[in-house]
Structure 1
Amino acid sequence: MGWTRTATEVLHEGPFLSLRRDSVLRPDGSRGTYDHVTVEDGVRVVALDGKERVLLVEDDFYLQQRRVLHLPGGGAGGQDPRDAAARELREETGYVPGELRSLGVIDPLPSTTAARTHLFLATGLRSGPAHRDDTEIGMTVQWWEFTDAVEAVRAGRITEAGSVTALLLAASVTSS
């Protein structure tokens, strides 16, 4: 690969992430450091019903200082990504997928973290209770026409990386 880690220093350890500084040998042989964030992998779910509607959630995001419209999802929490996707969908929306199909995996911030986001298409939805955690208290669930959600990506209304990618991938899969 070209990069060699020779040491790691933990600069900060928190409940959801750690900040690390690696001593490295670069591909050209020179020595240096590389700071990066360690977080768990994430998941995003395009949940479609039989009427070509998609479930979206909207929530307050501290760093953006605004409400963000996005697909259900979150951290994998050490689970298999498929299991984590089903869990996140159920927790945030109350829906359980009958079928869960992988749309792929993305590296949303490859120079900042090795964490990946696993993308899924859920169909055959069954309703049940939502079980949100304390960080999701103000979250709302919305049904959107799938084509309107894809248009919201193009218009810049849906901007979260996993949601953008998953919606566009689902559009290419469902239109073929």
Structure 2
Amino acid sequence: MHRDTVRRPDGTAGAYEHVAVGDGVRVVALDTDGQVLLVEDDFYLQGRRMVHLPGGGTDGEDQYRAALHELQEETGLTAAHVETLGVIDPLPGVTTARTHLVLVTDLRPGTMRWEGTEAGMTIHWRPLSDAVAAVRAGEITEAGSATALLLAALLHSDSPSAG
């Protein structure tokens, strides 16, 4: 947590509190049948389990390497194709951290490497359209996951094989 002394637009002095955290990544892993891989995990601050996309901090890696790292760590899968969906500033009033949104396809088995905080994580496959419905219903609420799923659905609906 940081507290900066700032000069407001009206010229008065003030303070601005913000959190310094690194950038993150969320991964839409889409199989050839249009199923998306979701994980469910306990979130301490929310006090509940949440369904979301695989992901985490980039730890200084580029977005593609971080996406593949998080995918394998949380799901045991690797991917041969990686592309950018976009990037968001999920909490611009609180942190400068950005979340990179990545789509991966051509999925292959790898080795799962859960960290201690991921104990109890479960994996679910859902049709992409069902995942989008879960965003609309408020079941998937994590900002990066919701945005990435909506962007993936837009991209998928524009692809020649989607029609």
Shorter-chain TM-score range: over 0.9
TM-score when scaled to structure 2?
0.94
Q: Which residue number corresponds to residue 111 of structure 2?
A: 129
1: CA distance, partners of 2:46 / 2:6: 32
Equivalent residue for 2:77? 95
Paired AA for residue 56 in structure 1: L
Work out which of the residue numbers 17, 22, 25 in structure 2 matches 1:43. Answer: 25
Q: The residue matched to 1:22 in structure 2 has which SS?
A: strand
Give the match for residue 48 of structure 2. 66
| Structure 1 residue 23 corresponds to structure 2 residue 5 | yes
Distance in 2 of aligned mates of 1:142 and 1:54? 8
- Correspondence for 2:62: 80
Higher percent of residues as helix: 2
Q: Note the aligned Cα RMSD (angstroms).
A: 0.8
Any gaps of 5 or more consecutive residues in structure 2?
A: 159-163
Runs of at least 4 residues off by over 4 Å: none
Shift of 1:68: 0.3
Report SS of the residue matched to 2:145.
helix
Question: 2:108 matched to 1:117?
Answer: no
Identity of aligned residues (%): 61
Counterpart CA distance in 2 for 1:85 and 1:27 is 39
Q: How far does residue 146 in structure 1 lie from its aligned partner after superposition?
A: 1.2
Aligned length, in residue pairs: 158
